[in-house]
Chains A and B, each alone.
Chain A
């Protein structure tokens, strides 16, 4: 997952907004994804954005895409304690028709009262 870079930790107060950042590798990536992982569980797809979009909003989640800088962010509005988890950015990397879903190291979001 070293091709996709994320900061490792983020701590926020309940009710504040959280912004999780990611730098991805392949400027031709067509889809970029955010996954959430709770302790002892697999990853759950949260949202994704198609590369021809700059922004996508889905309830409390807002994804921003800056293709020039290959920067992706996930904003969680009104963060709740249930949002505490690890968040992974992902893109499909490869060549010659063989693409592999590739994940960052994850950002651990800690929400405190």
Chain B
């Protein structure tokens, strides 16, 4: 396991369709984060998990967005009824929990979503 893996790398969908992205974190990392990044902007926090518990989800952009991490390993991010404004890069990152000295995020390469 050499890093955070995200699939697919690219997703093109039609407006109104549902999409799901997958993230496989670094195996020993217990925290997993989802971010959205649009052109010219920094990563915008969406949600995060510690193991299987979703500790913060108030920043999910709407109720069309949901995330799961059922066994505390991989995670999925689902967007229902996609809109053109959902077009962005969706980034996943993992880390060891704060409180240890290694408070560093390791990012995947992202999933680029295009909604037509």
Residues in chain A within 8 A of chain B (CB atoms): 1, 4, 8, 30-31, 33, 35, 40-45, 48, 88, 90, 92, 98-106
Question: Cβ of B48: which chain A residues have Cβ within 8 Å of it?
Answer: 100
Nearest CB on B from A47, distance (A): 10
Give the chain B neighbours of A103 by CB distance below 8 A.
42-43
Contact A43 B56 (CB under 8 A): no
Which residues from chain B contact A48 at a C-beta distance below 8 Å?
103-104
> Across the two chains, which residue of chain B brings its CB closest to A99?
B98
Contact B45 A101 (CB under 8 A): yes
The reply to whether B44 and A1 form a contact with Cβ atoms under 8 Å apart is yes
A92 touches B98 (CB 8 A): yes
Chain A at the B interface: SS class: strand
Chain B residues engaging chain A, CB cutoff 8 angstroms: 4, 6, 33, 40-45, 48, 55-56, 59, 91, 93, 95, 98, 103-110, 112
- Asked if B56 and A100 make an inter-chain contact with CB atoms under 8 angstroms apart, the answer reads yes
Known contacts being A42-B4, A42-B91, A92-B98, is A102 close to B107, with CB within 8 Å? no
**15 A-B interface contacts by CB (under 8 A):** A4-B42, A30-B103, A40-B109, A40-B112, A41-B110, A42-B110, A44-B107, A48-B103, A88-B42, A88-B43, A90-B105, A92-B98, A100-B45, A103-B42, A104-B42
**A43 / chain B contacts, CB cutoff of 8 Å:** 43, 91, 93, 105, 107
How far, in Å, is A9 (CB) from chain B's closest CB?
11
Q: Within 8 Å CB of A35, what residues of B?
A: 105, 107
CB pair A105 B41 closer than 8 Å: yes
Q: How far is the CA of A67 from the CA of B102 in the complex (A)?
A: 21
Among B43, B105, B107, residue most surrounded by chain A Cβ atoms (within 10 Å): B43
